[in-house]
Amino acid sequence: MASQRLCLLLLTCLVTLATSLLALEIQNLHLLNGTTDEIINVPPESSQLGNEGKRVRQVRDIAHHPPAGHGWPKDCSEIPAGSRSGIYIIQPKGLHHLVVYCEMNVTNGGWTVIQRNQKDTPVTWAESWSTYKYGFGNLHSEYWLGTEYIHQISMQKVYQVRFVIQDSTDNINFADYNLFSVEDESHGYRLRLGSYTGTAGDAMTSDNPNTMHDNMKFSTKDQDQDTYSKNCAYSYEGGWWYSACYSVRLNFKGGMTWGSLCKGNCKSSLILIKPASYC
């Protein structure tokens, strides 16, 4: 009888927890094929469930939920140091709740993953403006966080960006830009980058106006904002900050391109952002 009551109590607590997650209106959870049981930082509401069930206490105690009064993290840099990489809830300033993948193992952690891709991806990157705007893919594998959400996050503070590129021989290279921001939709989600350091080569701020990506607006197959006479996104099957047309093509199903490092045969890409270290 006691075991039945315990089982009923646990079931009630789990239902309450699931309900509190859904009440957060995590708008991109379904778009990025996530599930509530994958989220690492359990909602603060779960700490009010009481002390009746041992398993509930364990879930609550290991969860990195935000301290009382401080609200949700605005990006992955506000996740406590030492946390594991994975899926977290964030709430950028003035925005609803989102799920993102936080990379906590690269260069002191705290990186928000805005893009991840692999050469053999099942994801079709030749998507519409609205699909790119709110994101698509799979949080655990290949995905685009959403151009609107990238903009909203990047406006909170002064951000930096790291591009991580796996070349055709499996070497991992990186390109860091000490400033990163994306303007709002009315300005075409224009990309702004700072100074480069790294091992991959500076392919985003090329001196050639035909292959420049810095200061370019974002283009998709149904929203042509490049500087080319035709539509680069339509021709090259993926949304990006094109000029006329590219030296970098990462949002693509197949071999990716990063400058002279790997032209059409890059094996994977990862784009990470976090607040600039000197701010």
Q: What percent of the chain is modeled with pLDDT above 90?
A: 75
pLDDT for res 227: 97
279 or 188, which is more confident: 188
Crossing angle of helices 2-23 and 54-62, rounded to 10°: 30
SS (H, E, C) 161-216: EEEEEECCCCCEEEEEEEEEEECCHHHCCCEEECCEEECCCCCCCCCCCCCCCCCC
More confident residue, 277 or 139: 139
Taking residues 50-59, report their average pLDDT. 35
Task: Return the sign of the alpha-carbon dihedral for residues 30, 36, 40, 44.
Answer: positive
Q: How confident is the model at residue 57 (pLDDT cuts 50, 70, 90)?
A: very low
**What confidence category does residue 27 fall into, taking pLDDT thresholds of 50, 70 and 90?**
confident
Query: How far is Cα of residue 110 from the mean position of the Cα atoms in its chain?
Result: 12
pLDDT tens digits, residue range 170-223? 999 999 999 999 999 999 999 999 999 999 999 999 889 999 999 999 999 999
Under the banding of pLDDT at 50, 70 and 90, the label for residue 61 is very low
pLDDT band at 43 (very low <50, low <70, confident <90, very high): low
Q: Share the mean pLDDT of the chain.
A: 86
Backbone φ and ψ of 121, nearest 5°: -60, 145
pLDDT of residue 207: 81
Could you state, in order of their start, the residue ranges of all structural domains in the chain? 27-39+71-275
Mean pLDDT of 232-258: 97
Was domain 27-39+71-275 assigned CATH 3.90.215.10?
A: yes
Is residue 228 predicted with pLDDT exceeding 80? yes
- Note the pLDDT tens digit of each residue in 63-87: 444 544 458 999 999 999 999 999 9
pLDDT of residue 24: 61
Read off the pLDDT of each residue in 149-166 and give the average, rounded to a whole number: 98
